[in-house]
Amino acid sequence: MRILFVEDNARLGEATHKALTRAGFAVDLFETPEDGRHAWRVANYDVAILDIMLARRNGFETQSGLELLARARAAGITTPVLLLTALGSIAERVRGLDAGADDYLVKPFAMEELVARLRALRRRPLPLAENVIQFGDVIYDAAAREIVVGDGRAGLSRGESIVLERFLRAPDRVITKAQLGESLHSLEQDFTDNSIQVHVHRVRAKLAELGARVSIRTLRGLGYMAVESAKDRHTI
């Protein structure tokens, strides 16, 4: 599980980072909302942990973690979010949940409880976990393994459907080869970089044949990203 962790208390951040890493999570820790927002914009996370109050880089202003959460939700990001805060009143909890958070943990907390809550959030079905996914002008029917663009249709192999679904469930997010490999693992026990490239190439070709505005962009040294041309979409 890959986790975005935004916490401006350096001591707490480092201690939590070490504990979560020991528990088997991959954690990207950031101390400022600006850095956290940038990472969330370009990377794909399974869960986000946000501190409620976050210091801006200049040290004089503060920004609520709720603001970062609200911008993510406005951008269509459905990543499960757990809020950390020293404010434990019922009103504050309700405010956080109403802002789009999925869970709430009051400081100080037991690390074992945080780990358990993260695993529970990862198991929780997401709103996007449906048979039909749409991004831009592309409609993908997971049950039929078919993509529709306008009046055009194209069937997909199992490997192609796994790759396309991974992209469409995280549009405008970097998907690494390792992440694609994890998705293909049950299909290809001995998957290679070359086999991943073949699946991506075939998906690209079918999107192009249908004249889709959606394409798969290669980001050298990072991975791939599903993008839509001629779009006016919110970003966090």
The answer to whether residue 234 sits within a structural domain is: no
At 62 the three-state DSSP class reads strand
The answer to whether residue 148 sits within a structural domain is: yes
**Cβ(56)–Cβ(62) under 8 Å?**
yes
What pLDDT does 19 receive?
A: 94
DSSP string computed for 162-212: HHHHHHHTSTTSBB-HHHHHHHHTTT-TT--HHHHHHHHHHHHHHHHHTT-
CATH number at residue 59: 3.40.50.2300
Domain check: are 207 and 103 in the same one?
no
Domain check: are 18 and 49 in the same one?
yes
- Tens of pLDDT along the chain (236 residues) come to 889 999 988 999 999 999 999 998 999 999 888 888 888 887 878 899 998 876 555 443 445 788 888 888 877 777 899 998 877 667 777 777 777 888 888 888 999 999 999 988 877 655 444 578 888 899 998 878 899 999 899 999 988 988 998 898 888 888 888 888 877 765 444 567 788 889 999 999 999 999 999 999 999 888 999 999 865 455 56
Domain check: are 69 and 168 in the same one?
no
CATH number at residue 139: 1.10.10.10
Q: What amino acid is encoded at 46 in this protein?
A: D
Domain check: are 35 and 92 in the same one?
yes
Domain check: are 153 and 93 in the same one?
no
The answer to whether residue 114 sits within a structural domain is: yes
Domain check: are 160 and 221 in the same one?
yes
What pLDDT does 225 receive?
A: 92
Sign of CA dihedral 88, 112, 16, 176: negative
Of 75, 91, 123, the domain-final residue? 123
The answer to whether residue 235 sits within a structural domain is: no
Number of domains making up the chain = 2
Domain check: are 119 and 137 in the same one?
no
The answer to whether residue 189 sits within a structural domain is: yes
Domain check: are 7 and 118 in the same one?
yes
What pLDDT does 191 receive?
A: 60
- Taking the C-alpha atoms of residue 107 and residue 112, their distance in angstroms, rounded to an integer, is 13
Domain check: are 107 and 217 in the same one?
no
What pLDDT does 195 receive?
A: 83
Domain check: are 9 and 112 in the same one?
yes
Going from the C-alpha of 133 to that of each of 39, 153, 170, the distances in angstroms are 24, 15, 11
The answer to whether residue 224 sits within a structural domain is: yes
Query: Which distant-in-sequence residues (6+ apart) come within 8 Å of 82 by Cβ?
Result: 47, 48, 49, 50, 101, 102, 103, 104, 105, 114, 117, 118, 121
Of 62, 89, 123, the domain-final residue? 123
The answer to whether residue 233 sits within a structural domain is: no
The answer to whether residue 236 sits within a structural domain is: no
Q: Which domain holds residue 35?
A: 2-123
Domain check: are 139 and 206 in the same one?
yes
What pLDDT does 209 receive?
A: 94
Of 104, 123, 142, the domain-final residue? 123
Domain check: are 110 and 85 in the same one?
yes
